[in-house]
Structure 1
Amino acid sequence: MGRMLTTRDVPQRTRKRLAWLDALRGLAALTVVFEHTLEPLLPEAQLPVKAAFDPGWYGVTVFFLVSGYIVPASLERRASLRAFWISRFFRLYPLFGVAAAAMALLTLLGWDDPHIWWKSRLVSLVMGHLTMLQNLLYMPNLLNILWTLSYEMGFYLLLTAMFTLGINRKSVTSALGFTAAALLGAGALPVTLLSAGGSSRMLTVTLAVTTLMTAGLAAAIRGSGAVRQVGAIVIGLTVLTLLAVNQSYPGPWQGLLILATMFAGTVLYRAEQRELSWKQAGWVTLVPLAGIWLTRDDFGTQIATGAAWLTFAAGLALRRQKMPRVLTWLGLVSYSVYLLHPLLLESVEWFWPEPLAVPLNLRMAALACVVALLLGLSALTWRFVEAPAQRLAKRLTSAGARPDRREATNLV
């Protein structure tokens, strides 16, 4: 299976340098898959496992730390918002479209029962998913795991605003600011303040957010001087508003802490690159401590939070060591693994709506088949969807490889 990926698809020097991040992604993907296999295949283990250790929260926390570490570096290395957004678009959307189409097919076949809002609020939900901000617009996710992409997108948008305003290196301040907001807002921030109240209101908010984001990005990328700054401010204020008062899951303070986690990953990158001292970077230990404090009634989540941070710290410490090939390969295809596994599990649930009535040995055999099929499909989607899309992104950005003089000043 690994032989399907060639040196043409992935530059070896880059893969070697980032192998530890791939290994972390691979481990995170496996734990998220494990979390989601419990309900359809091992429901008797779900509550005991999550009470002791929440594998899903562990996995997404590792993913968020990895994104925080590498994504800002990608933007600053290119010094071009245009190149950054072309890269992000072709990294996320092609496979996102494949997964959405597959989910729509399962729905047409009757294997899944979509949320009723897909019939009554179709335009809003389609627009929300196209922006990838659906979770911050109080919308049911087409696939249950898509909620994390809303926070990824929110992070990209905030990075864009900060880069344009020349404050992109304020990573410690950002991490601690979001942590403080999470602590102060826990239990106090309103939920779905903007989008709740009927289909017309949701559509109005969705149209407004889409317009603001489109105009803001256009101004930040193509504008000059004050126009760029206004665009950045519009983007930043819109995202911060959605984060603070318009999310229902996992909750306002949790969403804010997710952003704190990603900015903490950026701080660790800056310390590793000697842009900051490790003493300065040490302030971000307050982020997991805050998370553990805020989930003090949920032991499994506390352990998962601590374990995710320790895992990332171990990966950082071992970054120059050779990583297990199986984990680096899993990291390479981790986005495919992440998006495709719910589709296979939806099929399992359709065949076995009452898993406890099925003998355990058959369920374990089904689990092995699901994992094998998932890895095979992920290899195929990497080769025929993800890798070609990323090569296309490189071709589109190569002509503008030199940073725009206005943007390059933000690297100072």
Structure 2
Amino acid sequence: MPTILEAEQRTRRRMDWLDALRGIAAVVVVFEHAFKFLLPEARLPVKAVFEPGWYGVTVFFLVSGYIVPASLERQGSVRAFWISRFLRLYPLFGVCVAGVALLMAAGWDGLHVWWGARPISMALGHLMMLQNLLYVPNLVNVLWTLSYEMAFYLLVTAMFSLGVHRRSTAGALGFAVVAVLGVGTLPVTLLSAGGSGRMLTVVLVVATLVAVGLTAVLRGSGVVRQAGAVVIGITVLGLLAVNQSYPGPGQGLLILATMFAGTALYRAERGEISWRQAGWVVLVPLAGIWSARGEFGFQMAIAAAWITFITGMTLRHRKAPRALTGLGLISYSIYLLHPLLLEGVERFWPEPLAVPLSRRLLALAGVMGLLFGLSTLTWRFVEVPAQRLGKRLISRKPPLKEAPAMRS
């Protein structure tokens, strides 16, 4: 009988291809942001034909869609799912906030003015990781994607609790259809725009609804549990429909469609649904390409991201390059920390075009080396201990028996 360690090692090998994709996505996003600080002359020519940042985050969203619902269903526990998600996201998020504090202490003046005028809204929006759906400016630019990750986690939780979590293809197509029909018509920040008092009210109401809904799902049973799931679902869907800021309602809804498409592909790979049924998700990238008409760089990024994911999935049984899987392990650290290092570069070279290209390329290599080293440290001393803590907490018996999800 295999030991727990052996089982974990086999699971890790099966997931190597996902780590490889994360590694690719993280590095591409770094280069996207490096253009501004080190290679501004290349920024517009490259982005005209290929949007590296959008490519990177699309790959990330496909990977999340593929693996995140699987972890919930494998454990069969909403409690265990949220313990693992919380300890996956928040410890490194805290490191990122600490990094911003260090930059501020060094004289960086990059905080949005609302941190002084609307501190409660700003802080609570970030603590929920729903800031992009609450019209709250991001503390660090890359944090916007976490809002869609959190929205996805909440929707997956609601669907699991209602017993409709296997309808991934329908979810993907539903979000895609609304995104296409809503381009140019769905309102932007309908609820939160209009003053600090209005924003604070919306943030507090959303925080209350999410807290009440999650409490009902985690602690309740039967009708109470289902009611909590409905509250979560309506709250998140409402924010997605009328209150998004960047990248806008159409693209934001397509992000959710992309995640659910990743889940549908997982289900087909596991034999839970037919490949014919999962094949309908090809409409999701087509919808994205259509919505980005006139923006060739975005269209190419969407197509390339899907091709990358499908290629990785096709080759999933082969051994992935160790360098890429290693980058994948530290990809979350790379993603959150690289803006802070690049902001540091700006303090020394506020006008990069005045610096010889050779020196800027050398600086880019130095930033990448420092980033990989720092990310390895944060993965080793922040992410890994947090994940181990999560496993210990999950292994403990919950205070109340969690009600099983309804069968689909």
Q: State TM-score, norm by structure 2.
A: 0.97
State how far apart, in whole Å, the 2-side matches of 1:277 and 1:230 are. 31
State how far apart, in whole Å, the 1-side matches of 2:394 and 2:328 are. 24
Aligned to 2:297: 300
State how far apart, in whole Å, the 1-side matches of 2:363 and 2:119 are. 34
Of 175, 180, 185, the residue aligned with 1:183 is 180
Deviation of 1:135 (Å): 0.6
Write out aligned runs for 1:17-166 (5 A): 17-166=14-163
For residues 199-242 of structure 1, give each alpha carbon's deviation from its aligned partner in whole angstroms, at most 9, with x where no partner exists: 11111100000000001000011111111111101100000011
Deviation of 1:39 (Å): 0.6
Kept after mapping to 2: 8 A contact 1:53/1:304 = yes
Kept after mapping to 2: 8 A contact 1:21/1:66 = yes
- The one-letter amino acid of 2:375's match is S
Deviation of 1:405 (Å): 6.6
Aligned to 1:325: 322
Deviation of 1:340 (Å): 0.5
Give me the identity figure in percent: 69
State how far apart, in whole Å, the 2-side matches of 1:142 and 1:13 are. 38
Q: Secondary structure, in 3 states, of the residue corresponding to 1:112?
A: coil
Write out aligned runs for 1:275-286 (5 A): 275-286=272-283
Distance 1:160 1:284, change over 3 A: same
Kept after mapping to 2: 8 A contact 1:83/1:400 = no
Write out aligned runs for 1:140-289 (5 A): 140-289=137-286
State how far apart, in whole Å, the 2-side matches of 1:379 and 1:12 are. 20
Q: Which runs of 5+ in 1 are unaligned?
A: 1-6
Kept after mapping to 2: 8 A contact 1:212/1:235 = yes
Aligned to 1:3: none
Kept after mapping to 2: 8 A contact 1:80/1:404 = no
- The one-letter amino acid of 1:332's match is L
State how far apart, in whole Å, the 2-side matches of 1:411 and 1:395 are. 28
Q: State TM-score, norm by structure 1.
A: 0.96
Q: Which runs of 5+ in 2 are unaligned?
A: none
Of 297, 305, 310, the residue aligned with 2:307 is 310
State how far apart, in whole Å, the 1-side matches of 2:277 and 2:9 are. 33
State how far apart, in whole Å, the 2-side matches of 1:276 and 1:225 are. 27
State how far apart, in whole Å, the 1-side matches of 2:242 and 2:355 are. 43
State how far apart, in whole Å, the 2-side matches of 1:114 and 1:341 are. 17
State how far apart, in whole Å, the 2-side matches of 1:87 and 1:58 are. 27
Of 404, 407, 410, the residue aligned with 2:406 is 410
- The one-letter amino acid of 1:110's match is G
- The one-letter amino acid of 1:410's match is M
| CA RMSD after TM alignment | 1.6
State how far apart, in whole Å, the 1-side matches of 2:407 and 2:64 are. 20
State how far apart, in whole Å, the 2-side matches of 1:350 and 1:240 are. 41
State how far apart, in whole Å, the 1-side matches of 2:142 and 2:354 are. 27
Q: Secondary structure, in 3 states, of the residue corresponding to 1:410?
A: coil
Distance 1:357 1:160, change over 3 A: same
Structure 1 runs, 4 residues or longer, greater than 6 Å off: none
Residue 365 in structure 1 maps to residue 376 in structure 2 = no
For residues 167-222 of structure 1, give each alpha carbon's deviation from its aligned partner in whole angstroms, at most 9, with x where no partner exists: 00010110000000001100000110000000111111000000000010000111
Deviation of 1:11 (Å): 4.0
Kept after mapping to 2: 8 A contact 1:79/1:411 = no
State how far apart, in whole Å, the 1-side matches of 2:288 and 2:108 are. 37
Of 325, 337, 348, the residue aligned with 1:340 is 337
Q: Secondary structure, in 3 states, of the residue corresponding to 1:406?
A: coil
State how far apart, in whole Å, the 2-side matches of 1:405 and 1:199 are. 39
**What is the total number of aligned residue pairs between the two structures?**
404
- The one-letter amino acid of 1:247's match is Q
